[in-house]
A and B are shown apart, each in its own frame.
Chain A
Amino acid sequence: MRLTVNGTEHVLDLDPRTTLLDALREHLGLTGAKKGCDHGQCGACTVLLDGRRVNSCLLLAIAHQDSHVTTIEGLDGHPVQRGFLEHDGFQCGYCTPGQICSAVGMLDEVDRGWPSAAADDDPLSDAEIRERMSGNLCRCGAYPHMVPAIRQAAGR
């Protein structure tokens, strides 16, 4: 099967059961995306699929051969990465690649005017950022520093 990751097309011989996450980590050596729960519950495996954030642990690689995948390795010095560094948006770092990919996808959703359940007037208020990022858990509880990191990346 084919997989296009960070701009490069790969041809792989994979079992149809292989998830996108396992294809990235085990077969392409891209270990940035992490396996936390493997059931869509933690967000550690978040990557961008045609620009939209998704949980790669619940996607079968075989079903996404025509898509473009962007992983944390493909985000080179993105403003969200700088925001996380400057605001100390992590402790152990395990959830961080997923948090950053998720934030990149989330800021694009905000730009497109997508609503969230927080329903604040300001789509980048603390409550909005927390709600929009609620699909990413952090065992270390580094959330308070991620909120300003993400807001800074949005140019605020």
Chain B
Amino acid sequence: MKTFAYRTAVTPADGLEPGAVFLAGGTNLVDLMKLGVATPDVLVDVNKLPLDEIADLPGGGLRIGAGARNSDVAADPRVRRDFPVLSEALLAGASGQLRNVATTGGNLLQRTRCRYFMDASKPCNKHTPGSGCPARDGDHRDLAILGASASCVATHPSDMAVALAALGATVRVDGPAGRRVIPVTGLHRLPGDTPERDTVLEHGELITAVEVPPLPFAHRSTYRKARDRASYAFAVGSVAAALDVHDGVVRDVRLAWGAVAHRPWRAFAAEERLRGRPATRAEFTAAADVELAAAEPLRDNAYKINLLRRMTTAVLERLAEGARR
């Protein structure tokens, strides 16, 4: 590991000196530093900032501090009652030990698990711009089918972010240039020809909180994750959904997919197609297909199309059944 200086952040608006990065739980950053992929000159520890509160918002939403640990958010009674998709997504990720340390902010900003990215000795446009993308013709079984580019086909690996995208959450940011609010669906970029930039955040901008707006029908929401072993593995595909059915008709729906793109993928086109239609299996599948029409699979990841179609159909059917009961 390259040597670095260490200091603690004093206020959220502090910002970062050149070559510095924020340290939250460190479960991704320290790992990448050991691998020589992250080589910061300075670590600015944000764990002493008072950012770990989970507070009620007017109308039934929640403000989740960026420092709130994944395990505490997953166990929060309000999250479990009003936004079960978020609790389920968190519990589907990592392990008990990791969730006790991982923070809300760090989880959103964790980097791709693309194996070439995590190997400093390999070319990769994300860790070494201009060096190429060996995944495109190499090992890309876990990588993107939507929104990828010739430069990069990485996926964002977070489960939590998929639930937040479905819930229409926003991210509050602070920094030397002031505060701003960014929708979770607009936080991560598509790779284009600058895959070295994961998000729209500027150097020194700190996430202070995530706000989940009120969404009454989200008390009926869920997360489903497909992976290579029963637990403690990243997703190869996942679905976060909330469904509002009235008299057998879809009044409203929220749908997002994980492990298919460089960002948590909110399925806006599928949602649009479903609103006002009968809550039937055929309609659910048709809606998934509308979204999947844009998919551009690679040699070894076309299986994700059928996986997402089937998982989406099953998840929405289950939510619709719950509504009938």
Contacts and interface: CB of A to CB of B under 8 A. Distances in A.
Q: Do A and B come from one complex?
A: yes
Interface of A: 15-17, 19, 38-40, 43, 46, 49, 52-55, 58-60, 62-63, 102, 105-106, 109, 112-117, 130-136
Contacts of B100: 49, 52-54, 105
Given A60-B30, A115-B75, A117-B231, A16 B3 contact: yes
Given A63-B45, A116-B91, A135 B97 contact: yes
A2 B92 CA distance: 35
A115 B91 contact: yes
Contacts of A117: 88, 91-92, 231
Contacts of B230: 131, 134
B319 to A, nearest CB: 15
Contacts of B194: none
A102 B100 CA distance: 11
Nearest to A63: B45
A109 B96 contact: yes
A4 to B, nearest CB: 17
Nearest to B48: A66
A115 B74 contact: yes
Interface in B64-90: 71, 74-75, 80, 87-88
Interface of B: 1, 3-6, 23, 26-27, 30-31, 34, 43, 45, 47, 71, 74-75, 80, 87-88, 91-92, 94-98, 100-101, 230-232
Q: Lowest 5 CB-CB distances: which A-B pairs, in order?
A: A135-B95, A134-B231, A134-B232, A117-B91, A114-B75
Contact of B74 (A58, A60, A63, A114): A114
19 contacts: A16-B43, A38-B34, A40-B98, A52-B100, A53-B97, A53-B100, A55-B27, A55-B95, A55-B101, A60-B23, A60-B43, A102-B96, A109-B96, A115-B75, A115-B87, A117-B91, A134-B96, A135-B95, A135-B98
A55 B91 contact: no
A112 B75 contact: yes
A116 B92 CA distance: 8
Contacts of B91: 115-117
B96 A19 contact: no
B75 A135 contact: no
A39 B97 contact: no
B75 A59 contact: no
Contacts of A38: 34
Given A59-B101, A60-B26, A39 B94 contact: no
A135 B91 CA distance: 12
Contacts of A134: 95-96, 230-232
A79 B220 CA distance: 40
A135 B45 CA distance: 26
Nearest to A131: B231
A5 B96 CA distance: 21
A54 B97 CA distance: 4
A62 B100 CA distance: 18
A136 B23 CA distance: 25
B97 A55 contact: yes
A15 B3 contact: yes
Given A16-B3, A17-B3, A55 B75 contact: no
A16 B6 contact: yes
